[in-house]
Amino acid sequence: MNTNETRRRFLHHFAGIGLGTTLVPGILWARMQDAGARKITLAMVTDALRMADVEMPEADRIAMVESANTALTRFEELHKVKIPNDVSPPFHFSAIVPGIEVNKTRLPFRISAAPAVKRPANLEDVAFWPVRHLAELIRTKQVSSVELTQMYLARLHRYNAKLNNTVTFLDDLGLEQAKRADAELSSGRYKGPLHGIPWGAKDIISVKGYKTTWGSDAYKDQILGYIKESFDEITSPVVKQNAQKLLDTLASIGVSKFIPLTMPVWPYDVSAHPVEEGAFFDELVRSGRVAQMTSKTRANNFKFSRITPAVEYLQSQRVRMMMMMKLQESTAGVDVYLVAGGAGGGGGARGAAPANQPPQPQGPAQRHSGFANYACYPALNIMNGLNEAGMPTNVTFFARPFGEMELIALGKAYQDAAGLHLKLRPTRMD
């Protein structure tokens, strides 16, 4: 038996009966490893308890042995079940907490007016054009879907060695779909502004028949208002100026009032994803292939999840609910709110600290980012200028759950008024 698997099994059980923070699990694992055993014996338990200075009557020790071995047997049977990744636990998560109201009015879909566009002499000059502009090029037959697809594929291939921007190239599929789109357009069947637009999927989306590596070598062959504090903490004069220009631009298009929001300080770790990830990647851990993972921190989190007691996991989710209610209170009364980035970058890093490290102090932007992530608040990250190095800076627009309509409307209105995205030019790195 794999020794790591043996260790995980008894740690899982003994953490569940309240001995996870004592020396008992570690000593027991050592004894099992030394003996090459797959089961726990009374002698092992007695020795481990003695070394950990834990007193327990013999009857209780015998019961512990029987309980632990029964649990190990159940775990072995459970491990034989092949659980597809699209099977979720029977939990219902809702971002709607008391105080959040959802507008359920059905509204017609309307797109912005088509701009007047002209194909440039060098097609690559449109590489950073908005999709609405590209769509108009295709609709007016100034460019074909195949031409647009070939241009973007050429750029991806050209810069991949330097930027590592693409995990899996699907040139043949992309061009095949582009030809089909062009045939439909030629016959007069125009389906809308995304018809014929080439696109790419992030490498966390599993598509049958194609590689999805999830960003890890372990799966390389797998098929399958505004938060004022976030503005105040900006130290770069240029980035601070960009943030102020954003507020000025919003005011110029009719935003009449900016309400300062203060994010609550919530010192408790409500992250559930290490345990949930551990469940979905349990087979990876038990097979030993977890050692192939690129991120050792995430690999350790997968392993650590095995010793998180069920009660503690559920308690953390109850605390998560309390955090969500605090965030609802802090954002009540606004339709959309803004979170400034630092020297470039969005609302801050998301996710919890590694399992073996205490959480590090976070600034307002980072703190809010974690809150919003776990509370399912929709967001748009939009460029608001360039920093001293000429790299884009940005501000994140957030809305409360199910507030995507207001979020997208304001984000587009700002982007159109600022026009910064139109000033970017494709960079040549040859």
pLDDT at 309: 67
pLDDT at 62: 84
In whole angstroms, what is the distance from residue 214 CA to residue 345 CA?
Answer: 22
pLDDT at 351: 41
* HEC per residue, the chain: CCHHHHHHHHHHHHHHCCCCCCCHHHHHHHHHHHHCCCCCCHHHHHHHHHHCCCCCCHHHHHHHHHHHHHHHHHHHHHHCCCCCCCCCCCCCCCCCCCCCCCCCCCCCCCCCCCCCCCCCCCHHHHCCCCHHHHHHHHHCCCCCHHHHHHHHHHHHHHHHHHHCCCCCCCHHHHHHHHHHHHHHHHCCCCCCCCCCCCCCCCCCCCCCCCECCCCCHHHCCCECCEEHHHHHCCCCHHHHHHHHHHHHHHHHCCCCCCCEECCCCCCCCCCCHHHHHHHHCHHHHHHCHHHHCCCHHHHHHHHHHHHCCHHHHHHHHHHHHHHHHHHHHHHCCCCEEEEECCCCCCCCCCCCCCCCCCCCCCCHHHHHHHHHHHHCCCEEEEEEEECCCCCEEEEEEEECCCCHHHHHHHHHHHHHHHCHHHHCCCCCCC
pLDDT at 199: 94
In whole angstroms, what is the distance from residue 418 CA to residue 385 CA?
Answer: 9
pLDDT at 35: 67
pLDDT at 156: 95
Is domain 226-423 classified as CATH 3.40.50.620? no
Residue 121 β-bridge partners: none
pLDDT tens, residue order, the chain (430 aa): 454 554 555 445 544 444 444 455 666 666 666 666 677 788 887 877 777 666 777 887 787 777 777 766 766 776 676 766 666 666 777 888 888 888 888 888 888 888 899 999 999 999 999 999 999 999 999 999 999 999 999 999 999 999 888 888 999 999 999 999 999 999 999 999 999 999 998 887 777 677 777 677 765 665 447 788 888 888 888 988 998 999 999 888 877 778 888 888 777 777 766 788 888 888 887 778 888 888 887 887 777 676 666 767 777 788 888 888 888 988 888 888 888 875 444 333 334 444 445 555 667 777 788 888 888 899 999 999 888 888 888 899 999 898 898 899 888 889 988 988 877 776 666 6
In whole angstroms, what is the distance from residue 324 CA to residue 319 CA?
Answer: 9
Q: Are 274 and 301 in contact (CB under 8 A)?
A: yes
Q: Are 373 and 347 in contact (CB under 8 A)?
A: no
pLDDT at 48: 75
Write out the two tokens for 286: 């038990």
Q: Are 176 and 165 in contact (CB under 8 A)?
A: no
